[in-house]
C-alpha cells in the first residue's frame, strides 16, 4: 500500500519560511524522489530534501511538519494522506527522522488512554513502518504497540458483541471458572495482562478470547467437560491467544501495516469498525494454524507452571471424539480448533517430557455444585 504512492499526486498545505514575516503561505505540495516541493501562489517553489529533514507532529493536532535541516523552512499539511505520502516518497532517507519524530497527537480517546507510552510507541512504530524496515513485518509492529492497545480493542468489541445468550451469574458457576483463572493468571507470560470472563448460557461448546484478556466461556463447554482440568485446558489455550497477542496480529495482518500504524495514531472509529468486522461470534476463533499450535504449547506451559494436569485438553478432545464421532459444528470450539489427533499427541508429548505427574494439584472447584447450578 505504502510503496504504491503516486508521486504525481499533490495535496494542499502550507509553507512557513523564517525569512517571510507574513507567516505561513498556502501551497500545493508534491513529493519527489529527492525531497518535498511546495508551489506557492506567486509561482515560486520551496524544496526541502529528504536527507537531513526533520519531522514533527503538532501536539493534539493532525498537522505533520517537514522541517529543513537548518529550520529555516517548513512544509506542512493537514491532508490525511500527507504522512503516508512523505513516508512512501522519502523512504530510507527519512527513517531517522521518523524515528526521531516528536510531538503527540493526543486528541483522540485512544491516544489519550495510551498516554505517554503510546506517544513513544508511535515514534517506534513509525520508524518500523519505513519501507526499508518492512521485513521486520507486522509482528514487530505489534510487539512495539503497548498492550493497552489490545485492551482498548477488546473492551470495545466485547462491550458491543451479541454473545448469543444471557450471562450466568450463579456463584457456583462463576466461582468454578474464577478458580481456574486464579490458578492460571499468575503464570501468564505477560505480567500486565488482566483477565475478565463472562459465562454465557448457551448450549454451544465454545470459549473464545478477545485481545486484552476478555474471555467468554459458554455453559455448553462446562457441561460437556468431564473435569475442571479439561476446562482449564481450553481456558489456558485462550489465555495464550491473549498473552501472545494473536488477535492484534490477526488484525494487523488483515488491515495491513499502514492501517495498523493509523490505529496507533488514534483513529478510534477506524479501530472499532475494523475490530467489529473481524471479531464476530462466527469468526472469533479464526486464528492461523501456527497461532493455534503456539496457543496449545503456551497453554500447556501455563498449566504445568500452575501445577494443573495439562493432559486435560487432550482428554477433552478424546472423549468428544468418542461421544460425537467426527466433531460436529455445534461443538464450536473443537471445530474451529481442528487437527485433533496431532494436537493430542503434541500436548501429551510436551506434558510427558516436562512433568512429573505426581506434581499436579487438583483445582479447587466444586464441580458437582457447578453442574447442579447449570441444570
Ligand atoms: Zn485457539
Per-residue pLDDT reduced to its tens digit, 8-21: 678 999 898 888 77
Q: How far apart are alpha carbons 292 and 358 in whole angstroms?
A: 28
Name the residue with cell 492460571. Answer: 184
CA of 206 to the centre of ligand 1 (A): 11
Q: Which of 88, 62, 87 is nearest to 76 (CA)?
A: 62
Ligand 1 center–CA 185 separation, angstroms: 17
Q: Give me the DSSP letters along 322-369.
A: HHHSS--TTSHHHHSS--HHHHHHHHHHHHHHH--GGG-------HHH
Per-residue pLDDT band at 92 (split at 50, 70, 90): low
How do residues 269-316 score in pLDDT, each as one tens digit?
A: 566 667 777 777 666 667 888 888 889 889 999 999 999 988 888 888
Q: What distance in angstroms lies between residue 363's CA and the mean position of ligand 1's atoms?
A: 22
All 3 cell numbers of residue 198? 463472562
Ligand 1 centroid distance, CA of 241 (Å)? 7
CA 364, 367, 372 angle in degrees (round to 5)?
Answer: 145
Report the Cα–Cα distance between both ends of the chain, in Å, rounded. Answer: 54
Measured CA to CA, the distance from residue 353 to residue 44 in angstroms comes to 74
Question: CA-to-CA distance for 37 and 122, rounded, in angstroms?
Answer: 26
Per-residue pLDDT, 234? 93
> What is the Å distance from ligand 1's center to 256 Cα?
22
- Judging by beta carbons within 10 Å of its beta carbon (0-12, 13-18, 19+), is residue 307 exposed, middle or buried? middle
Contact of 231 with 177, CB cutoff 8 Å: yes
**What is the average pLDDT across 54-81?**
77
User: Per-residue pLDDT for 120 more than 70?
Assistant: no
- Ligand 1: distance of its center to the CA of 323 in Å? 22
pLDDT, mean of residues 256-260:
56
- Bridge partners for 215 per DSSP: 197, 209
CA of 203 to the centre of ligand 1 (A): 19
Q: Where is pLDDT greater, at 350 or 95?
A: 350
Between the CA of 314 and the centroid of ligand 1 the distance, in Å, is 14
Distance (angstroms) between ligand 1 centre and the Cα of 232 equals 13
Grid cell, residue 236, equals 489456558
Q: Which domains does the chain have, with CATH numbers?
A: 2-103 (2.30.29.30), 157-374 (no CATH)
- pLDDT tens string 130-164: 443 443 456 666 777 778 878 888 888 898 888 88
Amino acid at each position: 500500500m505504502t510503496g504504491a504512492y503516486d508521486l504525481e499526486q499533490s495535496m494542499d498545505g502550507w509553507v512557513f519560511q523564517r525569512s517571510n514575516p507574513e507567516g505561513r503561505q498556502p501551497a500545493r505540495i508534491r513529493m519527489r524522489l529527492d525531497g518535498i516541493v511546495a508551489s506557492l501562489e506567486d509561482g515560486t517553489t520551496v524544496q526541502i530534501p529528504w536527507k537531513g529533514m526533520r519531522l514533527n507532529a503538532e501536539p493534539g493536532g493532525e498537522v505533520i511538519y517537514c522541517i529543513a535541516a537548518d529550520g529555516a523552512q517548513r512544509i506542512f499539511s493537514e491532508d490525511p494522506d500527507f504522512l503516508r505520502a512523505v513516508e512512501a516518497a522519502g523512504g530510507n532517507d527519512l527513517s531517522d527522522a521518523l524515528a526521531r519524530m516528536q510531538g503527540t497527537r493526543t486528541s483522540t480517546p485512544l491516544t489519550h488512554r495510551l498516554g505517554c507510552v503510546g506517544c513513544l510507541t508511535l515514534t517506534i512504530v513509525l520508524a518500523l513502518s519505513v519501507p526499508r524496515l518492512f521485513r521486520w513485518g507486522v509482528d514487530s509492529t505489534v510487539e512495539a504497540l503497548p498492550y493497552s492497545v489490545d485492551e482498548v480493542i477488546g473492551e470495545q468489541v466485547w462491550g458491543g458483541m451479541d454473545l448469543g445468550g444471557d450471562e450466568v451469574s450463579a456463584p457456583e458457576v462463576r466461582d468454578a471458572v474464577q478458580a481456574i483463572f486464579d490458578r492460571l493468571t499468575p503464570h501468564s507470560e505477560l505480567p500486565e495482562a488482566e483477565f475478565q470472563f463472562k459465562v454465557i448460557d448457551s448450549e454451544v461448546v465454545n470459549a473464545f478470547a478477545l485481545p486484552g484478556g476478555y474471555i467468554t466461556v459458554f455453559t455448553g463447554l462446562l457441561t460437556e467437560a468431564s473435569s475442571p482440568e479439561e476446562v482449564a485446558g481450553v481456558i489456558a489455550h485462550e489465555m495464550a491467544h491473549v498473552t501472545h497477542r494473536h488477535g492484534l496480529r490477526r488484525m494487523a495482518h488483515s488491515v495491513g501495516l499502514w492501517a495498523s500504524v493509523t490505529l496507533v495514531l488514534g483513529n478510534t472509529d477506524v479501530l472499532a469498525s475494523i475490530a467489529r468486522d473481524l471479531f464476530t461470534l462466527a469468526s472469533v476463533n479464526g486464528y492461523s494454524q501456527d497461532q493455534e499450535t503456539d496457543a496449545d504449547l503456551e497453554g500447556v506451559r501455563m498449566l504445568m507452571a500452575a501445577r494443573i494436569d495439562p493432559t486435560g485438553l487432550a482428554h477433552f478432545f478424546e472423549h468428544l471424539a468418542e461421544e460425537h464421532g467426527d466433531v460436529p459444528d455445534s461443538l464450536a470450539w473443537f471445530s474451529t480448533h481442528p487437527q485433533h489427533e496431532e494436537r493430542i499427541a503434541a500436548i501429551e508429548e510436551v506434558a510427558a517430557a516436562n512433568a512429573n505427574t505426581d506434581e499436579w494439584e487438583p483445582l479447587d472447584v466444586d464441580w458437582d455444585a457447578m453442574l447442579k447450578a447449570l441444570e
